[in-house]
Amino acid sequence: MENEPPTTTQVVARLLRHEIGELLQTVYATVAILSDRLPGGATLERELLGNLEHRAEMCRFELDAVVDLVCGVHGPTQEIDLDRLVGAALLQVRPRFPHLTVEESRGTAQVIRADSRLVASTVPFLLFALCQHARKRVVVRVERADGLACVRLQRDGFGVSDEQRLWIQRPFTTTQQSMLGVALALAQRALDPGTGRVTVSNQGEGVEVLLESPIAPGSEV
């Protein structure tokens, strides 16, 4: 119920996000100041600062996701163009992983109904989590099949464990906490729990994550 007082876990999660969030803001500001002061040829130093900023960004994503999972607050359901959302997420991700080949296949509007805030934060977080352990290649496809809008994400590299998969159904119940596990749990929460689905599987020498949700009525083309 909306009027119920927050649990101790929820209070602690929000407090941690607030306190660590202030620390992360200091990191962002410090990186910006030092980057401005570096001479033109300081390539290694700029790379180190970029890595620091990237790690801070990953921490922020994960903190926000944990709070969303613990507090379980859903916003209003709205129409979302998954193709446009994935395109925006790719713009965030590509500069952070210049060593990866990121292939994409999209271009057609795939409109679903879901919590727009959660979905908007979930897609880039999930992409970041997959890219984090990719070796050379990530593939992103936005498709439709059997009345469903689908986002298919693939990466090469080592597979996922059974404990990581378990996060989709039962967050925080395994000993193996990982960014991918948190991202999978958040993705399942972001989609309509009655009709949306998240699946993850090992595919040869890689991993595939599939997000599926019914296409919004009236948007079928």
Q: What is the pLDDT of residues 161-172, one digit of tens each?
A: 888 888 888 888
Residue 67 has pLDDT above 60, yes or no: yes
* Neighbouring residues of 205: CB distance < 8 A, sequence distance ≥ 6: 156, 157
Give pairs for 131-137: CB < 8 Å, separation 24+: 131/93, 131/96, 131/97, 131/100, 131/102, 131/155, 132/58, 132/179, 132/180, 133/157, 133/158, 133/180, 134/97, 134/100, 136/99, 136/100, 136/101, 137/100, 137/101, 137/102, 137/103
Query: What is the mean pLDDT of the segment spanning 193-216?
Result: 90
- Predicted TM-score (pTM) of the model is 0.85
If one compares 218 and 1, the residue with the highest pLDDT of the two is: 218
Picking from 28, 16, 37, 95, the residue whose alpha carbon sits closest to that of residue 55 is: 28
Q: State the pLDDT confidence band at 194, using cuts at 50, 70 and 90.
A: confident
